[in-house]
Amino acid sequence: MPDGIIEAKNLCVRYRGVEALSDLSFSVEKGDYLGIVGPNGSGKTSLVKAILGLVPFDGEILFSGMSLSSFTKSRHIGYLPQKMSFLDQRFPASTREIVVSGVYCCKKFPKRLSAEDWTAADEAMKTLGIQDLANRPIGRLSGGQQQRALLARALVHHPELLILDEPTVALDPLSRQSLHSSIEMLNRERRVTVLMVSHDSVSIRGSASKILYLDKKLVFFGRTEDFGKSPRMLEYFGVAEMPS
């Protein structure tokens, strides 16, 4: 797999005997922007958890040709979930402190921050246009500003792969578009490989270079421009053509 960064082979995820994902195989190359879409309960989050090593699975997941067990995920993967639970107004941390905390995943005990770590945090905030929010309490930021701060936190250790699990679901349309633009910039200009889980297969097609459509098994995997023309997708939706 040239420039391959992730390869899933015959992946199955089960919860208490109930199959959440079945016999899923696909590959992601460096620089891809993969949109992971499908209906509720289709296995999108289960796939993310399997890639992050958070749930047991059958089959195989390879990172740059190495098995999940031998790959140091924390150094190579940045993760942005839907919403972090600690971001209320009383949380006693500044935006800069939240961003720099993203380097702890790469440090051995005792985990001490260096001047280079703080510089990396400042650079990540500058990249995402939130350097003026550095000293503001994280809980007093807007939803869109908080997600940008958490995106900076995911990027501060310069990961090769960025995984996002519906990070814009609670944002207003303007904040949603702004975050999408930032992610597109990181993919296009810095060649960060992106896996974006989305409930909206129409909007993600404006950003993603490839689409993975799940419904507990693989329905479609391929280039975005082929998604709307795929006979399998047309049959799945029962339409003559896909909405643009």
Mean pLDDT of 47-71: 86
How many angstroms separate the most distant Cα atoms in the chain? Answer: 60
How far apart are the C-alpha atoms of 161 and 5, rounded to whole Å?
A: 8
Mean pLDDT of 17-38: 95
pLDDT above 80: residue 57: yes
Helix (H) or strand (E) holding 154: helix 143-155
Summarised one tens digit per residue, pLDDT across range 72-105 is 666 788 998 876 655 666 778 999 999 999 998 8
pLDDT at 171: 80
pLDDT at 168: 82
pLDDT above 50: residue 14: yes
pLDDT above 80: residue 170: no
How far apart are the C-alpha atoms of 177 and 15, rounded to whole Å?
A: 35
Whose CA is closest to 180, among 213, 212, 203?
Answer: 203
The mean pLDDT of the chain is 87
How far apart are the C-alpha atoms of 216 and 244, rounded to whole Å?
A: 24
pLDDT at 91: 77
pLDDT at 219: 94
Choices 3.40.50.720, 3.40.50.300, 3.30.460.80, 3.90.550.10: CATH for 4-237: 3.40.50.300
Mean pLDDT of 13-21: 93
Report the DSSP beta bridge partners of residue 164.
80, 196
Long-range contacts of 39-43 (CB under 8 A, 24+ apart): 39/215, 40/199, 41/216, 42/214, 42/215, 42/216, 43/13, 43/214, 43/215, 43/216, 43/217
User: Hey, CA dihedral for 145, 149, 150, 152, is it positive or negative?
Assistant: positive
* pLDDT confidence band for 2 (50 / 70 / 90): very low
- Other beta carbons within 10 Å of 174: 9
Strands, sheet with 18-29, edge to edge from the N-terminal-most edge strand: 18-29, 4-15, 58-63, 66-67
Mean pLDDT of 46-53: 92
Orientation angle between helical segments 173-190 and 143-155, nearest 10 degrees: 20
Share of residues in the chain with pLDDT > 90 (%)? 55
